[in-house]
Amino acid sequence: MADFLDQIQRLRESERRVAMATLLAARGGSPRPLGAKLFVGEGGRLLGSVSIGGCVDARVVEHGERLLRGTRAERVTVSVDDVEALELGLACGAEFDLLIEPLSLDDDDPAIAAYSQAAQRSRAGRDVFLATTITQGEVRRVVIDAEADAPAGAFVERIAPPQVLVVVGASDVAVALARMARILGMRVVVVDGREQYATAERFPSGTEVHVGMPSELVRPWLTDGASVVLTSHDYRYELPVLRDALRAPVRFIGMLAGRKRADAVRALLRDEGMPDDALARLHSPIGLDIGGREPEEIALSIAAQLIAVRERKPLARR
């Protein structure tokens, strides 16, 4: 999911006020995760979605435009009630409870301030929770450390630390992967020893780009939950980085290589004393086998594998 604050930043380019719809509950169908957001700008411009295909978004827009004319929030229920489609079995018949509230897009807006505070606290590396209560059109939010601390009847959102993706080697695959990972809401860190590749201009806005000794630059990021992807395709960086990364509590380690070269890297590390259980953590060849050859296609297969690993799907390993 795209980061809330990134979405606010994008909205500020064209809007002064928006109505924000937050998915509180869903019955039936294939809903987005609770907490999903749809922003409605003046004139009906949209960002985000509270349903998979946008099937109820048009209904939300009507409420949003109405609420934008005032200052009060509303809890509404919207259902997919296309009777003909339901009878044909072509509609899911889902029903959604939503909080729709007007936001001014400045930092003083209470909702934006609350999400900013939660995001800042989660960046320390642990989950925080945002508890929202709605009373007679008034919305109150409080950032709490434990879900159990939420006030009675509150809607609670878990604000997880952004998934960190460390990319070693500022190759064209890295450029495409950084772009996709940013869309997926990840915090992207790119490191390379080569200053002509690791430039801010080559990477999407918000990517952290570092030049220096790669094995040292990655060390602070080798933490629980991080993913490390080596796209340098060069043992001079791969070996020093893998010596640390394979012993660190990271979620995922993958290396761009054919099977033969990957096995040679494993053999060399094994010869140095790297334990087999650590070597078994290395995903190489990397990416789901979708047959792509272009940098963007390879990046897509890697991004898909990162999601599969996060969701513990069996296809996560080749």
Q: Which is nearer to other proteins, 119 or 269 (CB)?
A: 269
d(CA 70, CA 286): 52
d(CA 95, CA 81): 9
Cβ contact 129:91 at 8 Å: no
d(CA 58, CA 87): 21
Phi-psi region of 125 (alpha: psi -120 to 50; beta: other; left: phi over 0): left
Q: Which is nearer to other proteins, 122 or 215 (CB)?
A: 215
Q: What x-and-dash track marks residues 271-310 binding other proteins by CB under 8 A?
A: xx--------------------------------------
Q: For residue 245, give both structure tokens.
A: 């990364």
User: Which amino acid is residue 186, in one-letter code?
Assistant: M
- In whole angstroms, the minimum distance from the beta carbon of 93 to other proteins comes to 58
Q: What is the dihedral of CA 236, 240, 245, 247, to 10 degrees?
A: 140
Residue among 153, 160, 159 nearest 99 (CA):
153
Cβ contact 285:258 at 8 Å: yes
Contact between 58 and other proteins per CB under 8 A: no
Contact between 234 and other proteins per CB under 8 A: yes
Residues 258-277 that bind other proteins (CB under 8 A): 264-265, 267-268, 271-272
Q: Which is nearer to other proteins, 102 or 214 (CB)?
A: 214
Contact between 135 and other proteins per CB under 8 A: no
Q: Which is nearer to other proteins, 158 or 243 (CB)?
A: 243
- In whole angstroms, the minimum distance from the beta carbon of 229 to other proteins comes to 17
Cβ contact 155:146 at 8 Å: no
Q: Which is nearer to other proteins, 161 or 214 (CB)?
A: 214
Contact between 237 and other proteins per CB under 8 A: yes
Q: For residue 64, give both structure tokens.
A: 């949003």
Q: How many CA atoms, within 13 angstroms, populate the side-chain half-sphere of residue 224?
A: 6
Q: What x-and-dash track marks residues 203-222 binding other proteins by CB under 8 A?
A: ---------xxxxx------
Residue from the set 162, 185, 204, 240 that interacts with other proteins by CB under 8 A:
240
Q: Which is nearer to other proteins, 154 or 191 (CB)?
A: 191
Contact between 245 and other proteins per CB under 8 A: no
Residues that bind other proteins (CB under 8 A): 192-196, 212-216, 234-237, 240-241, 264-265, 267-268, 271-272
